Amino acid sequence: MNACELSASVTALANVLAGSLSEEELGLLGAILTQLGDTLTTIAAHRGLCGK
């Protein structure tokens, strides 16, 4: 999968979720996924700097 296909897939998934979740559920899921992304980025940066 190339970068454009990945981006389109993520957008499609967001649209499906937005159509089936309430505003509150959507907000919570967004916050959870943001925290997940931030945490994974922190772990990757730590590994790059300090090694596994």
Instruction: Sketch the domain layout of the chain as residue ranges.
Output: 21-52
pLDDT digits (tens, 9 = 90+) for 1-52: 999 999 999 999 999 999 999 999 999 999 999 999 999 999 999 999 998 7
pLDDT, position 19: 97
- 3-class SS of residue 30: helix
Per-residue pLDDT, 18: 96
Q: In this structure, what DSSP letter does residue 21 have?
A: S
Dist CA 7 CA 9 (whole Å): 5
pLDDT of 51: 86
Structure tokens at 18: 């937005």
| pTM, two decimal places | 0.80
Q: What is the pLDDT of residue 7?
A: 98
